[in-house]
Structure 1
């Protein structure tokens, strides 16, 4: 009896739970359906409202233009401010490597003008000339050969002498005979012993040998 009552109580609890779940499901469905229907009606009511547009305003009649002022000065117009447009700075170019300096330009100076030729040297050349001729000529004539003087022989003897750089006669030869060997010999001997000369010079002024020709006259008083 107690076991049957206990089983019966359990079945009742289950039935109550099932009935509660059914009521909850029906309530949920009812609430959801009513909400959907209410929302549909609101949407339909909103979409079916007619909005009447107000009539456009009437255009005003053309009004006459206002009278223009007589000789009204034009309104002052301020000049536009000057526009200072600064030029853009030139772009700065940088080089990563510095090129080597270029070699200096080679300037070849013009050739120097040729030196003027030296002036011609003054020639100092000269021939030998007698030195104190009157004195030594008188001594030669006074040395009259003795035999020619005894025989009264007179004559002229032409001689050519070689003059050394010291101005003395180094050689003598008869170029024209007097006809007397004594007079010819006496003439060359006298020139060699007594004759003196200023020696000849070359272009540089150095004394050189030279020759000289003259005539010795032998005449008795």
Structure 2
């Protein structure tokens, strides 16, 4: 006959501890035996796995404000009437336009059919049949009052001159310049030279300019006069010779 006796508390603890060690040993063996395959599989699965970029955020919806309702404004009152002006009883008179006075008309000393305010022959030769001498025009000869006046003219005469070499500018005088200057100048009604121009140069522009300047500044004439005694301008053509000996050029001592 078999008899069962109850186990003690120590035996129970030993049995439970051994069972626990057995479970731990079996679990460790399983984990250790499967570790290689598990890690290899995890790596292969990670290789096949691709990480996608994060999805963009959804676009923001624009909030369109609701249209405002038109406000009804109160009707404005009518504008005040325009101001009115009443004209005066006095009317402005029309302006008086004053025309400028015409210049006085110069009349000739004698009557004739022409339009020139002067009378007598001009100091230059003209196209008339009595010009320059005895013609058949009215007043021809020496004492008439019309065109064709001839031999009564008094020619101009030099009263101050001629030019001297010492009259030249200092630099030309010191350089002993020489040359012949041909010129043409006008003598006015007061006997002074009013204009001068070179007709043939000496080859020295400085000498040419000095000659014309001295002619205007120093030469004085009795002007040309008509038979009636009227002074008239005249044109003179001449030459000025400048020589190094300063004698022919008019530099001799008085």
Same fold (TM over 0.5): no
Q: Which has the higher contact order (CA 8 A, sep 6+)?
A: 1
Shorter-normalised TM range:
0.3 to 0.5
